[in-house]
Structures are given as C-alpha cells and as structure tokens.
Amino acid sequence: MRLDDEERAMLAGELGAPRRWAIEQQIRVGRFFDAQDMVRVSQVHLMADTESLGASGVEFLEKLAAAPAEHRRVHVPTVTDPRGIDFAAYKRLKVDERFAGLERRAIAAFSAMGVLMTDTCINYQTIMPPVHGEHLAFGDTGSTIYANSVMGARSNFEGGPAALAAALTGRAARYGYHLPERRRGTRHFVLKDRPRDLSDWGALGGVIGRKLQSYWEVPVIDGVSAAPTSDELKHFGAALASFGTVALFHVPGITPEAPDARGVFDGAVPKAETIGNADIAAFRDSYDAKGDKLDVVVFSAPQLSLVELQMLADRLDGKRVHAGTALLAATSPEIKSAADRMGLTGRIEDAGAVVLQGVCFYQMYAREIAEANGWKRLMSNSAKLVNIIGGYGYKPVLASMDRCIESAVAGRVL
Amino acid sequence: MSERIIRGHVGVGPKVTGVALSAADYFSARYDLDRIRGVFSRPAHKLHGESYVGRVLVLLGAKGGVATSWMLREMASRQMAPLALLLNTANPIMAQGAAFADLAFMDRFGEDITKAIATGDEVTVDPAAGEVRVRRAASEKPG
C-alpha cells in the first residue's frame, strides 16, 4: 500500500504506540482486500459493548488509554454504538454487577482517548448525519448501510477494533464501498406491495437479505413509489444488513446514487425478482408461536426514534403490561432525555414497561438476562432482533408494534 | 491418505494445522455461537451443537453484524477460539477480527471451499502463501 509521510511516521511509532498499532491493523486489512492506499475519514462510529469486548478487550483498551495524551487521543470525532449496561436499569434487569464494573472501565478508557460516549446506533438520525460523498468509518451494520444508501456517504463495515484504528489514524484503507466502482447495483428486485408498518419494512429487508450471498452484493429495489420515512428505511436497512451482511442498497428515484434503475447498473438492467405481501407474510410467519406464554417484548435494534417512542406511548395509554411479561424499549441517551422532557417515558412506564437508554437488547448481556429472569419467548417488531436473538437462547416472534403490545397485555403471543 | 493443495487469496494470521469442521452455512460469532460453551448455538445453523474450539472452520461466508471483530480475540484469550477460519467470501468484519486476534484466515479460493474440505479432514492453512493443504484418509468422501 502507498503510505503518505504521516502514515509512515505512524508506522514507525513516531506518533506513539496506539497509532502504530492502529496503522498496522489497517495495513493488514487493506492488503487483504488489495487496497492501494488510505482514505481520510471525517467521523467514526465505534461498536464496543463489553459483551463483545470481554475482559481481554477492556484490558486492551486500558493499555491504549494509558499512553501519553498526545498519543492516545482520537484523530477525528468518534462516537459510540450502544454499550452493554444501562446504569439506571441494570439492577432491575438482574444484570450481574461484574458486567457493570467492566462497562465502567471501558467508558473510562474510551473517555481518556477522547471518544464521545453517545451510546447509539442511530447516530445518523441523532448526532451528526453524514453527507453525500463523505468518507466514514462506521461500526454498526445498520448505521453503515443507512449512511451509505440513504445519505450517499462512503463506509465499509468497520468492526470495533477497525473503527478504533480509524479513529486513531483518521483514515481507513481504501477498498470496498470507498470505491465508486464497488457501489454499482448487482441484484435487482421490484416491490409489488408497499410494506404496511415498520415491522414489515424490516421483514422486507429480511426477505431480500436472505437471497443475498455476500457483502459485495448491492441490491437495487425498484417499485417504491413514494419516499419511505427515515424510520422505515432504518428498519429496512438494519434487517437487510443483518440477514444479508450487505452495506449498501439503492432505491431508484429515492436514494441519492440511483436516479433510476438504468443509472445504477453497469450494462443492461438485470431482470428483477418480484417481492410482495406474500413474501413478507411468509417471512413473518417463520417467526411465530401463537398462544405461547410470552416472557418479554422488546422494541429495539435499532434504537427507537422519538417518533417511535411516541407511537409506543400512544398505544400503551390506558393499558397495563401483564405481570408475567416484561416490555422493554431501548433508545439513545439524547432521545431518552427528550422523551423524559416530553412525558413519553412516563406514559410508557406507567403501563408497566421500561425505557432503556444507551443500550440495545442484544448488546446488553441478553443470554445472562434470559437466565436471570427465566425468559425464553421474546416478541419484537424488529426483524434484525429476531434474527440475532435465537443464538442467545431465545425463541423469537416477529410482529407489528400493535400486536406486540396486545400480546404484552395478554401475557401470551396473540 | 490423499493430499490436495488449494490456492486462495493471501490471508492474515499464522500458519496452522488442524482438523476441519465444514458446512454449507454462514458465520457470525454473535449470531451463531455460545462463546462460553464453545459451541454453535443458533438452532437453524447446520453446525448447531458442534464445538468449534480448536477446529479449522470452513464455511460459505460471513453473515450478521460487526461484533465478531472483537469476539474472535476475546475467544482466543480464553482458549475458546477456532484454530482458523476459511470462507468462500470474506467481509471486512472477519478480516478485521482475524487481524486483531491473529487468527489464520483466508478466502477467495476459486472453488466452493465447503465442498473441497470435509469435516474431519486434516488441514494446513498458510495465509501468507495463500495456500491450504488438505489431507484426507483414503476411504473418506467429502461431506
């Protein structure tokens, strides 16, 4: 890889041990993907929940954070994905104290490096929305696919160590979705029926994601006649990235790099696969268990917007969650603060639900919480969450927000 | 015992030799594994219930999220990691995680690696050379 003077200085250790570690990591990965050089990034989104980091990851961070200030400080604005603990709620959820201790150590290390603890996966809605053409190092599949597709920014999936490396160098290896030629459509789908709600938009992402085989596929979704909302595209993109491990999609006439289908494919437009309500219903039905006792309902993955919290509050007014069922909703600290101020949190919690901040359900020791609370049957309107959570021992059901709430009140899957 | 050499793209991590665990399925440390017990825990996964610890994992590709990039190193710190990972097609997360964990990792073989390597084969992975050597007992057929 070609390196500039500053990159060579980092590699030689002249700018400190953390930056040398960072550029060495980036060169290894860059060579793996045949990158020719590095590209400067303007912001970093860093996934680093302690459930993923473990004790060894936290010790690694502490070693970096012990370097002199001029060596350890991040090079560009760096924000965090949801963490593993909501300090206001973890005791109610029976999360072990030792995990809270690990989380405190990680926060101290990140803060010493100048990382902003935003604890959100919806940073593109709430912190600093990326702009068209901006090169990024984003570290959540949902935030990356949204930034690439809806905003026209440029990022690969940057896992925690890679995003941290990008934060320390201010660069990413130039491969994948930093390159214009990689951003062209490879698969063509046409939508016969418009999804009806957020859960269906997520299910649509799941249907298409299951048909895709690798990170390098770029689906183009035709037939979307009017612009979806930010929350609809959030659920769609998060599920598409989760089921398909893809980082970019185009919607002709809607997303910025796709004025029309012809403009986004190289050569002839491939024949489109049609997706309709029956596909979405079949997907949803593959996660169903009507009549089962319901242990926990989760609204999360991605974290809820203020608008989603208002929807939830409106639907819970005058209702009471069943004593044998928990209802959890997760959002970012900024949105939680707004929801508190506007009375939404109080209305949701008056119904017996819990509003969590700075976490996402699958990133907050989901397996240990299940064991501590005896939870097995989980219901959510998030297609992404039902895809992930089976591996943690849960039996997930996918349904609309309305059906999730009715089931939470009844204490069984309706 | 027959031996075959398969070429792939130059990878990351050290040269290692071990026994393969192979399936026509995908891989995500967060979605698919019980990392405490060291087994595949996702009920729908073709390796559900199998221990991956110390094995040369051979799968189609990556699926899921970004957490694998931290988790591979965390598993290695507890001696609960696979020995190596071979995929038809990598995504950045697997490459970043393998580089961080110093795990032997390769992809882009020019053939379906899950058909070329069967569970139980003895495999030497040489990422720097972009080479995989597969040894199989004469009576065994690919699984």
How many CB atoms within 10 Å of residue A178? 20
Q: Report the relative pairing of strands B26-27 and B56-62 from DSSP bridges.
A: parallel
How many CB atoms within 10 Å of residue A122? 28
On chain B, the residues whose CB falls within 8 A of the CB of A156 are 92
Per-residue pLDDT at B75: 96
B73 to A244: CB separation less than 8 angstroms, yes or no = no
**What distance in Å separates the CA atoms of residue A141 and residue A372, rounded to the nearest whole number?**
29
B61 to A214: CB separation less than 8 angstroms, yes or no = yes
Cis peptide, bond prior to residue A302, ω within 30 of zero: yes
Per-residue pLDDT at B138: 76
For A56, the token pair is 């060894």
B119 in contact with A at a CB cutoff of 8 Å? no
Question: How open is the CA angle A160-A163-A168, to the nearest 5 degrees?
Answer: 125
Tens-place pLDDT, residues B52-72 = 999 999 999 998 789 999 999
Closest CA to A191 of A225, A218, A233: A225
On chain B, the residues whose CB falls within 8 A of the CB of A158 are 66, 92, 96
DSSP string covering A309-338, please?
A: HHHHHHHHTT----TT-EEEEEE-HHHHHH
- According to DSSP, residue B55 is labeled S
Judged against a pLDDT cut of 90, whether residue B30 lies above it is answered with: no
Per-residue pLDDT at B65: 84
- Which residues in chain A land under pLDDT 70? none
Per-residue pLDDT at B141: 58
For A258, the token pair is 């796709």
Per-residue pLDDT at A100: 96
Closest CA to A51 of A110, A1, A96, A93: A96
Per-residue pLDDT at A116: 98
The answer to whether the CB of A164 falls within 8 A of the CB of A184 is: no
For A254, the token pair is 């809607």
Longest dimension (CA), chain A: 65
On chain B, the residues whose CB falls within 8 A of the CB of A390 are 31, 42-44
**What distance in Å separates the CA atoms of residue A187 and residue A326, rounded to the nearest whole number?**
41
Per-residue pLDDT at B4: 96
A57 to B70: CB separation less than 8 angstroms, yes or no = yes
Per-residue pLDDT at A43: 98
Note the pTM of the prediction, 2 decimals. Answer: 0.96
Share of chain B above pLDDT 90, in %: 88
Distance of CA A216 to the CA centre of its chain: 19
On chain B, the residues whose CB falls within 8 A of the CB of A140 are 65-66
Per-residue b or e along A140-171, where b marks 16 or more CB atoms closer than 10 Å to that residue's CB: bbbbbbbbbbbbbbbbbbbbbbbbbbbbbbbb
B42 in contact with A at a CB cutoff of 8 Å? yes
Residue with tokens 């009507």: A290
A159 to B67: CB separation less than 8 angstroms, yes or no = yes
State the smallest CA–CA distance between residue A391 and chain B in angstroms. 4
What ipTM, to 2 d.p.?
Answer: 0.95
**What distance in Å separates the CA atoms of residue B117 and residue B130, rounded to the nearest whole number?**
16
Q: Read off φ and ψ for residue A17, nearest 5 degrees.
A: -65, -40
**What distance in Å separates the CA atoms of residue A156 and residue B123, rounded to the nearest whole number?**
31
CA nearest to A384 within chain B: B64
CA nearest to B64 within chain A: A242
User: Which residues have a Cβ under 8 Å from the Cβ of A8 and sit 6 or more positions away?
Assistant: none
B64 to A245: CB separation less than 8 angstroms, yes or no = yes
How many CB atoms within 10 Å of residue A228? 17
Element (H, E) at A396: strand A395-398
Partners of B27 in the beta sheet? Answer: B62
B140: confidence class by pLDDT, cuts 50, 70, 90: low
State the smallest CA–CA distance between residue B56 and chain A in angstroms. 19
CA dihedral A120, A146, A316, A391 (to 10 degrees): -70
For A370, the token pair is 């299940």
Per-residue pLDDT at B142: 54
Strand boundaries in A16-145, DSSP class E: 38-40, 44-46, 78-80, 137-138
B61 to A213: CB separation less than 8 angstroms, yes or no = yes
Residue with tokens 């610890």: B53
What does each C-alpha distance from B17 to A103, B85, B103 come to in angstroms? Answer: 37, 12, 12
Helices (H), B12-142: 29-32, 68-77, 92-101, 113-116
User: Which residues have a Cβ under 8 Å from the Cβ of A357 and sit 6 or more positions away?
Assistant: A86, A88, A119, A330, A331, A332, A333, A335, A336
B97 to A161: CB separation less than 8 angstroms, yes or no = yes
Judged against a pLDDT cut of 90, whether residue B119 lies above it is answered with: yes
B31: confidence class by pLDDT, cuts 50, 70, 90: confident
B100 to A362: CB separation less than 8 angstroms, yes or no = no
Tens-place pLDDT, residues A79-137 = 999 999 999 999 999 999 999 999 999 999 999 999 999 999 999 999 999 999 999 99
B129 in contact with A at a CB cutoff of 8 Å? no
**What distance in Å separates the CA atoms of residue A312 and residue A306, rounded to the nearest whole number?**
10
Q: Read off φ and ψ for residue A368, nearest 5 degrees.
A: -70, -35
A214 to B89: CB separation less than 8 angstroms, yes or no = yes
B39 in contact with A at a CB cutoff of 8 Å? no
Tens-place pLDDT, residues A170-200 = 999 999 999 999 999 999 999 999 999 999 9
CA nearest to A142 within chain B: B65
A160 to B65: CB separation less than 8 angstroms, yes or no = no
Helices (H), A35-96: 50-65, 69-72
CA nearest to B39 within chain A: A391
Closest CB from B31, B78, B96 relative to A388: B31
B128 in contact with A at a CB cutoff of 8 Å? no
B102 in contact with A at a CB cutoff of 8 Å? no
B143: confidence class by pLDDT, cuts 50, 70, 90: very low
Closest CA to A137 of A109, A184, A172: A172
A52 to B71: CB separation less than 8 angstroms, yes or no = yes
Per-residue pLDDT at A135: 98
A54 to B74: CB separation less than 8 angstroms, yes or no = yes
State the smallest CA–CA distance between residue B44 and chain A in angstroms. 9
B17 in contact with A at a CB cutoff of 8 Å? no
The answer to whether the CB of A380 falls within 8 A of the CB of A404 is: yes
Strand boundaries in A54-197, DSSP class E: 78-80, 137-138, 171-173, 187-191
User: What is the three-class DSSP state of B135?
Assistant: strand
**What distance in Å separates the CA atoms of residue A110 and residue A281, rounded to the nearest whole number?**
43
The answer to whether the CB of A248 falls within 8 A of the CB of A155 is: no
A52 to B44: CB separation less than 8 angstroms, yes or no = no
B90 in contact with A at a CB cutoff of 8 Å? yes
Residue with tokens 């070693």: A63
